[in-house]
């Protein structure tokens, strides 16, 4: 694999790539977004980082554009007497209303790459109609979904299949190219990392592991059939191990975007 310093701006890219970092709570979206921005900045690419989480606190970076300038979770909770979850739902709809204003601000930037750090709770972003509009309106001509697999959930066959299903739902909702990323891979033992990579690349190995984990009965049949359905849908893609702490996998993420938008290749294996 080329060294990280070999990353260059592809002259064929006419429009900036718009990365949306998406994953379950605690999967490491914010840290990976920050690390990726630093990675690209150090290699001479101009980046604009956008925080899309109205409830974010203590961000480890200073975003160029911050959704909290328009919609703040604390303000929504106070004004409408809502709890955190209800306020997140209301805030997502409010953000959609503010999209024309946000677009105007983004048009003031002309980077090589936009990075969008999405809300911490995947379901409140992926399954809201407002979020579909956000990706459509803010994703430009070259949107890319960076979908994070939580390393702990990925350790068991059922957990891995669950993340595959969430990834399939994410892809179905937004209809944009997607890269699967195993985040925080540095916390995994080498044998566990190898096992997860095998599951991602060889469905039959995951099928066998799932067969051993799930007891006989309706749950076993359902799990196996779900996995077969995901396989037939072409959900399997290469899983990129990444680590914000060790700056690992970031060049692979960059390369994946280049393949989609300047190499004319699909991320799916078929």
pLDDT tens for 187-244 read 999 999 999 999 988 888 888 888 787 766 666 677 677 777 777 766 667 799 999 9
pLDDT at 79 over 80: yes
Structure pTM?
Answer: 0.87
pLDDT of amino acid 206: 85
Residue 158 falls inside a structural domain:
yes
Domain that holds residue 146: 14-51+108-261
Residue 42: CB atoms within 10 A of its CB come to 12
Nearest Cα neighbor of 157 from 235, 215, 113 is 215
Give yes or no for residue 88 having a pLDDT over 90: no
The model's pLDDT over 135-176, given as tens digits with 9 standing for 90+, comes to 999 999 999 999 999 999 999 988 998 898 899 899 989 989
In-domain check, residue 249? yes
The pLDDT value given to residue 155: 95
Q: Rounded to whole angstroms, how far apart are CA atoms 254 and 244?
A: 14
Task: Write out pLDDT tens, residues 93-147.
Answer: 899 899 999 999 999 999 999 999 998 888 878 988 888 999 999 999 999 999 9
Task: Kindly tell me if the per-residue pLDDT of 177 is higher than 60.
Answer: yes
Any idea what the Cα angle at residue 119 is, between residues 117 and 123, rounded to 5°? 130
Q: How many domains does the chain have?
A: 1
**Per the domain annotation, does 2 fall within a domain?**
no
User: Which pLDDT value is given to residue 238?
Assistant: 79
Q: How does residue 256 score in pLDDT terms, banded at 50, 70 and 90?
A: confident
Please count the other Cβ atoms lying within 10 Å of the Cβ belonging to residue 101.
Answer: 11
Asked whether residue 8 is domain-assigned, the answer is no
**pLDDT for 120:** 81
What is the CATH classification number for the domain harbouring 225?
3.40.50.300
In a domain, 89, yes or no: no
CA distance 134 to 106: 13
Q: What is the pLDDT of residue 3?
A: 41
User: Do the domain assignments include residue 30?
Assistant: yes
């Amino acid at each position: 694999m080329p060294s990280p310093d070999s990353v260059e701006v592809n002259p064929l890219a006419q429009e900036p790539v718009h990365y949306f970092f998406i994953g379950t709570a605690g999967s490491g979206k914010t840290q990976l977004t920050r690390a990726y921005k630093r990675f690209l900045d150090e290699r001479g690419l101009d980046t604009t980082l956008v925080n899309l989480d109205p409830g974010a606190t203590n961000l480890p970076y200073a975003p160029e554009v911050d959704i909290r300038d328009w919609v703040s979770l604390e303000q929504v909770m106070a004004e409408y007497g809502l709890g955190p979850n209800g306020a997140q739902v209301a805030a997502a709809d409010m953000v959609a209303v503010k999209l024309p204003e946000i677009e105007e601000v983004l048009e003031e930037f002309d980077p090589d790459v936009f990075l969008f750090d999405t809300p911490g709770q995947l379901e409140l972003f992926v399954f809201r109609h407002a979020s579909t509009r956000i990706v459509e309106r803010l994703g430009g001509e070259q949107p890319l979904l960076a979908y994070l697999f939580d390393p702990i959930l990925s350790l068991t066959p059922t957990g891995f299949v669950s993340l595959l299903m969430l990834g399939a739902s994410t892809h179905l909702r937004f209809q944009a190219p997607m890269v699967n990323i195993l985040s925080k891979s540095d916390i995994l033992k080498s044998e566990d990392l190898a096992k997860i990579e095998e599951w991602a690349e060889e469905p039959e190995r995951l099928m066998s592991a799932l067969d051993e984990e799930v007891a006989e009965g309706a749950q076993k049949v359902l799990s196996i059939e779900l996995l077969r359905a995901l396989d037939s849908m072409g959900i399997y893609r290469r899983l990129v191990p990444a680590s914000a702490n060790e700056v690992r996998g970031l060049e692979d993420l960059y390369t994946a975007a280049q393949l989609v938008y300047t190499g004319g290749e699909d991320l799916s294996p078929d």
